[in-house]
Structure 1
Amino acid sequence: MLRALVERGEGVVTRRAVVEVVPEWVLWDACRGGWLLRVLPGVYVDAALARGERGSSAEERSRRLSPAPAGLSGAAARDPLDAPAFLRLEPLTRRRAALAYADGRAALSCLTALDVWGLRRQPAGEPVHLDAPRGSGLRPRPHLAVHHRQGFVMGPPQVVSRSGVPVVRLEQALVDAWPLLPAVHRPAPVIRAVNDRLTTPQRVFAALKTVPKLAARAELRTLLDRLDAGCRSPLEIWGHDRVFTGPGMPPFQRQTRIVVGGRTMYLDVWAERERVDFELDGASTHADPRQREIDLRRDALLATAGILVVRFAHRRLVHEVDEVRREVLAILATRRPGP
């Protein structure tokens, strides 16, 4: 019966669920025998799911477990937490264990939520993050961060189900995770979320307004402004800030959709009056000869519609800013219609 419970929970079971169907001593026997590990208070997992446990003998696994106390009543609360076992779990099992510990009182959040949303893979060493209402009684544990939020409700719109687990809405996860990431890695999840059309800059900004004291808030607001202007990559943001703004520059359109010959294309930096498309070629993508051939065919098709395509390589945009600016202004001057 105990094994059936563990299988039903995909390797995770709680003490509460166990004692509803079998005596508690069955649970302790499973721990002494080494096939169950206690990873959080009242939460146990199949030892085969913990890295380093597979292949160990029952006796070796048993030696790593704390002995059960003499009395069964309240035993789980008195057992020391086996934090290393929780850390050795695979990410999906670790999240299931954390949610089992929360028992419906919390949702995956912050960096863990970004992983669930498919925007950033969470490294094994980072803690699982949970958001819970104030007064929920949930306590943080080693490798488990619990954020108590005033006014937090375990339901829409604050919490949604994704991949079968409760997770905070995307915009809140992006805002809350922002100060937890190294500065160089902060923009990527936000940019990807907007590019994949999972959200919009306006919706993320609305979530940002609810956290007025967020660390590095100004940087996130600037990024959202650039995304709202149409920038869709760090290179486009660089170009927006340092090349395609300032004296003499027209009001460019960014990521403009255009259809030529039945093909839909998006123009990086579009000067509509002059009919010039400035393409910003990344350092890696456009080094591929196949991509180069695709670009040439695209540029030729745009030429049939009277559109001049000018490409700037990553190296020039970053290291020859003044020269690129002069070239842009000169090209635009030759393309402007006469009086």
Structure 2
Amino acid sequence: MRGVNSVLRELVKRSGGLVTRAAVTQVVPEWALEHACRGGELVRVLPEVFVAAHLVDSRPGIPVLNQLDPGVAPLAALAWARGCATLSHVSALAAWGLHAPTANEPLHLSAPINAGLRTRPGVVVHRRRGLVIEPPHVVVRRGLTVTRLEQTIVDSWPILPSAERRAPVIRAVNDWLTTPERLAVALSSEPKLTDRAALRILLTRLGEGCRSPLEIWGHEHVFTGPTMPEFRRQVPVRLGRRTVYLDMYAERERVNIELDGSTTHGDPRQREADLRRDALLATVGILVVRFAHRRLVNEADDVRRETLAILATRRDLWPPVIGGS
């Protein structure tokens, strides 16, 4: 008895605290597994899946899977699926590093339409026609099988609270994990997605070069209209050995509009770096105009009037140009 228990404990230890019935019964009798569960050493979290008791944060009334260490719960769900499903939706978004799971958030799996899995406490199973649990439909991220990023972002859109939907999309594009064009292709296959129009507009703004919620807000409320020039966004300019990117560049007037977010505005080091960058741009004739988050949001009409006045003055200084700067 003691020898059997020590073998089981070693197996549990080597596997990071997570074991399946199939794996256990290859090395010890099945009664050893039942004995460990009755003795409180192992806890059954899903059919045929068990974890070491110290990994369970016991909270009454909450599915056992949601009481697990966040690093173990996705592994348990995939072990239960036995290769017939993949992490998807916000669970895959977390594996991509674009979402922090909240307390009691269920795990999401996507499975082929004919898979024999069903939703259980703590696990939501989505059936997807045409899904195959192998590349290119799925990839491995942080050791976990997940849906491709573009599908993950589209699937997660209606599940996330409305105030949190934009951030993962913007970050994924800014971090060069995907592109607005690839996301638009994934969105095209989901015609009934909740709040689909808002995601489509966001992808349009990102495709136009907006790279933050503030830039999107400015584009929609301040820097567009019949009296505004057509700004070019994220324009590369070579300054010696470095290349800088201009947020919103009025090419004829040689004016670059920069929108300073609320977090960077109070950072002295960032402010100093911005001033050095602005001085370098001045050496090639580009005027940098900065608007703080507070002014852009609370004084939109004033910002618009100031921008138009600056652009009008610069037109008298610079003739029309053809091509880049």
Q: What TM-score do you get using the length of structure 2 for normalisation?
A: 0.93
* CA offset digits 1:95-154 (Å, max 9, x no partner): 111011001111111001111001111123211111111111111111111111111100
Identify the match of residue 43 of structure 1 among 29, 41, 49: 49
Identify the match of residue 319 of structure 1 among 289, 298, 304: 298
Q: Is it true that 1:148 corresponds to 2:154 in the alignment? A: no
Q: Is it true that 1:222 corresponds to 2:201 in the alignment? A: yes
* CA offset digits 1:62-95 (Å, max 9, x no partner): xx9xxxxxxxxxxxxxxxxx96432211111001
Matches within 5 A, 1:1-339: 1-52=7-58, 84-336=63-315, 337=318
Distance in 2 (CA, whole Å) between partners of 1:222 and 1:338 is: 34
Q: Give the stretch that moved more between structures: 194-203 or 116-125.
A: 116-125
* CA offset digits 1:207-253 (Å, max 9, x no partner): 00111000000000000000000000000001111111101211111
Distance in 2 (CA, whole Å) between partners of 1:35 and 1:259 is: 63
Paired residue type of 1:335 = R
Aligned to 2:274, what secondary structure does the other structure show? helix
Do the aligned partners of 1:40 and 1:83 also contact (CA within 8 Å) in 2? Answer: no
Do the aligned partners of 2:85 and 2:133 also contact (CA within 8 Å) in 1? Answer: yes
Paired residue type of 2:98 = L
* CA offset digits 1:22-46 (Å, max 9, x no partner): 2111001101111100011111001
Deviation at 1:261, TM superposition (A): 2.5
Distance in 2 (CA, whole Å) between partners of 1:210 and 1:157 is: 16
Distance in 1 (CA, whole Å) between partners of 2:43 and 2:319 is: 79
Do the aligned partners of 1:270 and 1:278 also contact (CA within 8 Å) in 2? Answer: yes
Do the aligned partners of 2:62 and 2:104 also contact (CA within 8 Å) in 1? Answer: no
Distance in 2 (CA, whole Å) between partners of 1:313 and 1:200 is: 28
Do the aligned partners of 2:64 and 2:122 also contact (CA within 8 Å) in 1? Answer: no
Match of residue 4 from structure 2: none
Aligned to 1:311, what secondary structure does the other structure show? strand
Do the aligned partners of 2:235 and 2:249 also contact (CA within 8 Å) in 1? Answer: yes
Deviation at 1:274, TM superposition (A): 0.8
* CA offset digits 1:153-181 (Å, max 9, x no partner): 00111101111111000000000000011
Paired residue type of 1:44 = F
Distance in 2 (CA, whole Å) between partners of 1:216 and 1:182 is: 12
Distance in 1 (CA, whole Å) between partners of 2:102 and 2:292 is: 33
Distance in 1 (CA, whole Å) between partners of 2:253 and 2:168 is: 34
Paired residue type of 1:137 = G
Distance in 2 (CA, whole Å) between partners of 1:3 and 1:316 is: 62
* CA offset digits 1:37-60 (Å, max 9, x no partner): 00111110011111249xxxxxxx
Aligned pairs, how many? 312
Paired residue type of 1:42 = E
Do the aligned partners of 1:106 and 1:130 also contact (CA within 8 Å) in 2? Answer: yes
Do the aligned partners of 2:109 and 2:125 also contact (CA within 8 Å) in 1? Answer: yes
Deviation at 1:4, TM superposition (A): 3.0
Identity between Structure 1 and Structure 2 (%): 62
Q: Give the stretch that moved more between structures: 307-316 or 220-229.
A: 307-316
Distance in 2 (CA, whole Å) between partners of 1:32 and 1:125 is: 26
